[in-house]
Amino acid sequence: MKKLIGKIAVVTGGSRDIGRAISVKLAIEGAKVVVNYFNSEIGAKETVEEIKALGGEAVAIKADVSKLTDIEKLKTQTIVAFGNRIDILVNNAGGLIARKSLQELDESFYDLVLGVNFKSTVFATQAFMPLLNDRGAIINISSQAARDGGGAGSSLYASSKGAVTTFTRAMAKELGSKGIRVNAICPGLIGTKFHDDFTKDAIREKVAGATPLRREGKAKEVADLVAYLATNESSFITGNNIDINGGLAFS
Ligand code: NAP
C-alpha cells in the first residue's frame, strides 16, 4: 500500500543522484513531485519521465535555490503545477564546490558554499512553510561532515551542514505547533557524482573499508529514509538528525 497518496512533495536538486532517488521514491509512494534542478536539465526530464513511467506525476522546475528570487519562482511554478499547498519539502540541493584549505578561502567561495547548502535550506523553508498543511514534513539533507568536521578541504561545507543540523532543530521547535515536523539526515559516504568529483578512489576505498558494513551507501538507501520521515509512520519524530553511514560513526 502506497503511503503518500494525495501528497505533494518538492525536492530541491531532485534530478540526479540522491535527489533523483528521493524524487522517484516519493513518487513510488504516491506523492506528486516537483523535481527542482539547476544545471541538470536532462536529468530532470529523465527523472520526470521515470516517474511517469511508474504511473506517477511530476514536473521539473529550474531554480537556483541559493537565490531568493529563484526560490520564489520555484514556489510560484509549484502552485501553478499542483495548487496552493504542499505536504513535503526536501532540502536536498547541496555541494562541496571545491576542496580548499583555510588559506585558500575567500568571500565569494564562502558565499557559494553557504549559499547552496545553508541559505537554500533557510529560504526554501521560509518560502514553502505557508504551503505546508497540518502534518507536513520538512527533511533537510545534512551530512556526516556536520558531525566530524568533514574530510580535507571541506571546512565550509562541513560548517554549512552543521548549520543545517542546528537549523533543523530550531525549525522543529518553531514549526511544531503548526503540525510541521522538521528532521535532517546525515549521510556518510554515499556513492554519487559528489564523490566522483571530489574524493580520490583510494580515500573512498579506505572509508568504505573502515565502515562496519564494508561499503559505500546507495542513494536509494537515503531516499528510503527520507520517505519514512515524510510519512505518518514517523509522526512523533521531529528535530532529529538521523545518521545513515553504515556504522562508520556513532553520534
Ligand atoms: P551531487 O551528486 O553533487 O548532487 C548535487 C545536487 O544538488 C544536484 O541535484 C544539483 O542540481 C543540486 N544543486 C546544486 N546546486 C544547486 C543550486 N544552486 N540550485 C538547485 N540545485 C542545486 O550530490 P549528492 O551526493 O546527490 O548529494 C545530495 C545531498 O546530499 C547534498 O546536499 C549533499 O551535500 C548531501 N550529502 C551527500 C553525501 C554523499 O556521500 N554523496 C554525504 C552527505 C551529504 P543540478 O545538477 O541540477 O545543478
Judge if the beta carbon of residue 74 lies within 6 A of ligand 1.
Answer: no
At 179 the three-state DSSP class reads coil
Residue 188 pLDDT class (50, 70, 90 cuts): very high
Q: State the DSSP H helix or E strand holding residue 8, giving kind and residue range, or none if neither.
A: strand 8-11
pTM for this one?
A: 0.99
For the segment 180-189, the average pLDDT, to the nearest whole number, is: 98
Active site residue 251: no
Nearest residue to 27 (alpha-carbon basis) of 41, 12, 6, 43: 6
pLDDT one-digit tens code per residue, 106-118:
999 999 999 999 9
Q: Cα of 177 to ligand 1 centre, how many Å?
A: 30
Given 25, 66, 75, 157, which residue is catalytic? 157
Average pLDDT of the chain is: 97
| Helix-then-strand count for the chain, H and E | 10, 7
Q: How far is CA 12 from the centre of its chain?
A: 7
State the cell numbers at 34: 516537483
The fraction of the chain above a pLDDT of 90, given in percent, is: 98
pLDDT at 134 over 80: no
Q: What is the DSSP string of 206-222?
A: HHHHHSTT-S-B-HHHH
Given 143, 155, 159, 160, which residue is catalytic? 143
Q: Identify the pLDDT of residue 133.
A: 73
Which residues make Cβ contacts (< 8 Å) with residue 72, sequence separation at least 6? 127
Q: Cα of 44 to ligand 1 centre, how many Å?
A: 13
pLDDT one-digit tens code per residue, 64-107:
999 999 999 999 999 999 999 999 999 999 999 999 999 999 99
Cβ atoms of 13 and 37 closer than 8 Å? yes
* Nearest atom (ligand 1) to Cα of 222: 30
pLDDT at 251 over 90: no
